[in-house]
Structure 1
Amino acid sequence: MKVKTPIPKAKGIDNSMSLIKEGFHFLPNRREELGSDIFETRLMGKKAVCMSGEEAAEVFYDNDKFKRKGALPKPLQLSLFGTGSVHALDGEAHKNRKRMFLSMFTPERVEDMNRIALKHLDNKVNQWQKRDKVILIDEMHEILTRAGCEWAGVPLKEEEVEQRTAEVGQMIDSFGGSLSRWRNGKKARDSHEEWLEGIIKKIRKGKMEVPANTAAYIVAHHRELNGKRLDSRQAAIELSNSFRPLIATAYFLTLGAVAMHEHPETMEKLKKDEGNYSHMFSQEVRRYYPFVPAMAAKVKKDFVWHDYKFKKDTLVVLDIFGTNRHPDNWEKADEFIPERFKDWKGSPFSFIPQGGGDHHIGHRCAGEWLTVMVMRSFFKYFVNNMTYHVPEQNLAYSLERMPTFPKSGFVITDVKKASDSGEKMQEMMHNPITVK
């Protein structure tokens, strides 16, 4: 880890607009310019300390040193995470809410999601065979919206699918863009929360029955530390947070399809899946491709680290994208090499696409297990159960855009199911993938 003393400062009075304009480039570029993995800047009118790398992630996810309250920008709470969500809690309140989420992700329920998602993918492929072309990222959003709602116990009428898919997509698309994208995300979240709040109220009044192991039931009946249930709006927010991260996997799945196309040797390896290659491939997609640029926290109490004094309530930003490609931990970090994850025994702080540290007590996303399992199953389906053609198109993605995806959306044509697709589907359904 490179640390200059004294800690350097980035140029500019306030770099908020530079962060938005430069996207994923902003933090790595400043680190390189300043020659330090820790530097100071100003964001949203406040002093901020930016950090990158395994050591930085380990201290960032130390709950004794950092807190989340007041760190998430208000616009992101209003459009993406929801006000008062688990992401902004600390201490026992966070642990209690986190236990609620973990109770949803038992091995059996994770397998249920895998089965449900594959079912919806298979149904869609039946439709794709009749189309001239398919834009993969749009289809992945719809498939995962259908699957996420079914898994969570959220009834989704056929006539609602387009609207609800668009809402979640706009919420996810709001976190790093223009004012218009944020406004669309905020409007979508308002509608999304109102819809889910109505479901929570019906469950509580006994007007809607959902299985006791579903997210909808668990959230509706969850008790806070004071013994009271979440108010209906807060419950709606957390119900959304139970399946929204899965829908965001649409970006990873689309970029993974790009990886298969640009590295055709991976397709045969995925077919054979020797040594759990599908797991290695999925992890490398999550490491290599950009999704979350950074996370924010505030200093809980004064402490000194690398001879730098972190003062209470200072905003600290961890470079997620840069940490996943940090040269201290990743050889040939800017190359796509799935085999790097063979027998990988790395630190939970050097690979942090969905947060770092421990799932149970820290701020690492509990839905990460669902993400990895669904990615593995979908990639295996792509190579074993269907064939398709990738026409000439613009597959470039911009590191200035957050979140990013191929400019074409990844177009495929001539989709056909494999002759033995049904048999392979049955095999996948009855031989669930185990997530490491």
Structure 2
Amino acid sequence: MRDRSLPRLVSVDSTLSFLREGYDFVSRRCDRLGTDGFRTRIMLRPVTCLRGPAAARAFYVPGRLSRRGAMPGGVLALLQDKGSVQTLDGVAHRCRRLLFLSLMADERLRMARQMLREEWQAASSGWRAREIVLADEVGPILTRVALRWCGIDPAENAPQRRCEELTAMISCAARIGPGHLRARALRRRAEVWAREQIRAARSGAPDPGTPLDRVARYRGPDGIALPREVASVELLNLLRPIVAVGRYIVFSAHAMVNHPEARAALVSEEVGLRAWGDEVRRLYPFFPVIGGRVIEPFSHEGHRFAPGDWLLLDLYGSNRHPSAWSEAGRFDPRRHLGAPATTGGFVPQGGGSMRIGHRCPGEALTAALLSEATALLLESGFDAPPQDLSIPRTAIPPWPASGLRLRL
């Protein structure tokens, strides 16, 4: 018989509360209940919500949870989509994951940073003596970076259209209504384009070793090439996250404006840039939760989880958990200069094993691009006029209310 160690919310269903409260939904209830987990229903399905380092360690034990059926269909359709690496388990997942990890070699990370610097400098030449909204500027820059890094010529592939499509996938994944439906239509348009990229790569001779080439020619453990539809999904799963890094870039500038003393201490040395970026990723809202379906039964905090149980791990709340961080709500990049005091307390893009788990395989690329963008912001010597710098934690994912207006 299932134990009853975790409290259950009295509400019949928490879907509307989750949509209304966004990033604060799980932690607010955990704080009220004096616990790091509770049971409720979302979309009328029983779910257990957990937070904190101990929960993250339990959640990311290899082979314990599956991502299949753990994400609402609308979110899955705009983000990972069916057949992607994150929806796989076992040998198929590990083999496909190695493809993505092989693209994170130091040489390719340096290449991404150089491309970002080039595209940033080309765009910023038109920023002088005028005010810009950074949230509007980073998407087109990163779209060109993403295309170039994957081995696709932006000049021949309508970067404005690609930016519109990739941006919509990110900004509308958690929405309902007309905005979500429009994003689904843009996603379908992007998939048509991506399938043509895969077809052309397989029939031609793309630059060897580029992500486009590697995805187009990848063969699974059965020795069979990916169906073109699946390969196109994985190509989009390389492009879209690069554009999503724009959120962190805007948040990095936001941190510079809100914490001038930390900005004054920041220097363009890699260790300092990386620590700054890690603190931005820890403290600012990106993914609110991650879902999993239990494969292997286990116990956590006295509660027994059975196969098929649905779990949601609060990433935002875990990154701010007081058991992992002193003064957890304070922005302080210096806390990342040493080894983490607690495993499972830093999970902005998931946790656990990078090689065999479900942690985001592109995390190294995210960190590299964020370091480079932080250096570029620092070099620009920007200042920010008075504006609304609040970040609504009910929008998933959010921008600063003003979009972050800057003068260079």
Q: State the TM-score, normalizing by the size of structure 1.
A: 0.90
Question: What is aligned with 1:424?
Answer: none
Matching of residues 131-142 of structure 1 within 5 Å = 132-142=130-140
Question: What is aligned with 1:104?
Answer: 103
Q: Deviation at 1:168?
A: 0.7
Task: Indicate how the Cα distance of structure 1 residues 347 and 240 shifts in structure 2: closer, same or farther if over 3 A, else same.
Answer: farther
**AA at the equivalent of 2:336:** F
* 1:246 lines up with 2:242 in the alignment: yes
Q: Decide which of 174, 178, 181 is 2:179's aligned counterpart.
A: 181
Q: 3-state DSSP class of the match of 2:149?
A: helix
Q: Deviation at 1:133?
A: 2.2
Give me the whole-angstrom Cα distance separating, in 1, the residues matched to 2:333 and 2:300: 34
* 1:87 lines up with 2:86 in the alignment: yes
Question: What is aligned with 2:14?
Answer: 15
1:220-274 superposed Cα distances (whole Å, 9 cap, x missing partner): 001122211111111011011123212111111101101101111223322364x
Question: What is aligned with 2:370?
Answer: 375
**AA at the equivalent of 1:162:** Q
Q: Deviation at 1:159?
A: 7.4
Matching of residues 257-336 of structure 1 within 5 Å = 257-271=253-267, 273=269, 276-336=271-331
Q: Deviation at 1:158?
A: 6.6
Q: Deviation at 1:64?
A: 2.9
Question: What is aligned with 1:151?
Answer: 149
1:348-387 superposed Cα distances (whole Å, 9 cap, x missing partner): 5210101101211111112111111111111112222x23
Q: Deviation at 1:95?
A: 0.3
Q: 3-state DSSP class of the match of 1:309?
A: strand
Question: What is aligned with 1:425?
Answer: none
Matching of residues 104-123 of structure 1 within 5 Å = 104-123=103-122
Q: 3-state DSSP class of the match of 2:317?
A: helix
Give me the whole-angstrom Cα distance separating, in 2, the residues matched to 1:372 and 1:198: 30
Give me the whole-angstrom Cα distance separating, in 1, the residues matched to 2:286 and 2:397: 6
Give me the whole-angstrom Cα distance separating, in 2, the residues matched to 1:304 and 1:324: 23
Question: What is aligned with 1:430?
Answer: none
Q: Deviation at 1:5?
A: 6.2
Of the structure 1 ranges 401-410 and 66-75, higher mean CA displacement relative to structure 2 is found in 66-75
Q: Deviation at 1:302?
A: 2.6
The answer on whether the counterparts of 1:167 and 1:185 sit within 8 Å (CA) in structure 2 is: yes
Give me the whole-angstrom Cα distance separating, in 2, the residues matched to 1:138 and 1:272: 25
Q: Deviation at 1:180?
A: 2.6
**AA at the equivalent of 1:196:** A
Question: What is aligned with 1:216?
Answer: 212
Give me the whole-angstrom Cα distance separating, in 2, the residues matched to 1:81 and 1:184: 17
**AA at the equivalent of 2:325:** W
Task: Indicate how the Cα distance of structure 1 residues 156 and 217 shifts in structure 2: closer, same or farther if over 3 A, else same.
Answer: same
Q: Decide which of 359, 362, 365 is 2:354's aligned counterpart.
A: 359
Give me the whole-angstrom Cα distance separating, in 2, the residues matched to 1:29 and 1:320: 14
Q: Decide which of 379, 385, 391 is 1:391's aligned counterpart.
A: 385
1:278-308 superposed Cα distances (whole Å, 9 cap, x missing partner): 1111110000101100000011033322221
Task: Indicate how the Cα distance of structure 1 residues 11 and 292 shifts in structure 2: closer, same or farther if over 3 A, else same.
Answer: same
Matching of residues 404-419 of structure 1 within 5 Å = 404-413=398-407, 415=408
Give me the whole-angstrom Cα distance separating, in 2, the residues matched to 1:141 and 1:254: 11
1:16-67 superposed Cα distances (whole Å, 9 cap, x missing partner): 1211111001111111122111110101211101111111111111123211
The answer on whether the counterparts of 1:80 and 1:189 sit within 8 Å (CA) in structure 2 is: no
Task: Indicate how the Cα distance of structure 1 residues 316 and 266 shifts in structure 2: closer, same or farther if over 3 A, else same.
Answer: same
RMSD (CA atoms): 1.7
Question: What is aligned with 2:197?
Answer: 199
Give me the whole-angstrom Cα distance separating, in 1, the residues matched to 2:309 and 2:105: 37
Q: 3-state DSSP class of the match of 1:312?
A: coil
Runs of 5+ unmatched residues, structure 1: 416-436
Question: What is aligned with 2:128?
Answer: 129
Give me the whole-angstrom Cα distance separating, in 1, the residues matched to 2:157 and 2:47: 46
Give me the whole-angstrom Cα distance separating, in 2, the residues matched to 1:183 and 1:155: 29
The answer on whether the counterparts of 1:287 and 1:353 sit within 8 Å (CA) in structure 2 is: yes
1:312-370 superposed Cα distances (whole Å, 9 cap, x missing partner): 10100000000000011111111111111121334552101011012111111121111
1:106-152 superposed Cα distances (whole Å, 9 cap, x missing partner): 1111111111111111111112126x321101211111110011001
**AA at the equivalent of 2:76:** Q
Question: What is aligned with 1:32?
Answer: 31
The answer on whether the counterparts of 2:135 and 2:403 sit within 8 Å (CA) in structure 1 is: yes
1:177-197 superposed Cα distances (whole Å, 9 cap, x missing partner): 232332122112111111111
The answer on whether the counterparts of 2:262 and 2:332 sit within 8 Å (CA) in structure 1 is: no
**AA at the equivalent of 2:197:** I
The answer on whether the counterparts of 1:136 and 1:410 sit within 8 Å (CA) in structure 2 is: yes
Give me the whole-angstrom Cα distance separating, in 1, the residues matched to 2:217 and 2:182: 31
Matching of residues 47-62 of structure 1 within 5 Å = 47-62=46-61
The answer on whether the counterparts of 2:217 and 2:225 sit within 8 Å (CA) in structure 1 is: yes
Q: State the TM-score, normalizing by the size of structure 2.
A: 0.96
Aligned length: 406
1:73-124 superposed Cα distances (whole Å, 9 cap, x missing partner): 2111211222221111111110011011111111111111111111111111
**AA at the equivalent of 1:235:** A
Give me the whole-angstrom Cα distance separating, in 2, the residues matched to 1:184 and 1:34: 39
Task: Indicate how the Cα distance of structure 1 residues 11 and 177 shifts in structure 2: closer, same or farther if over 3 A, else same.
Answer: farther
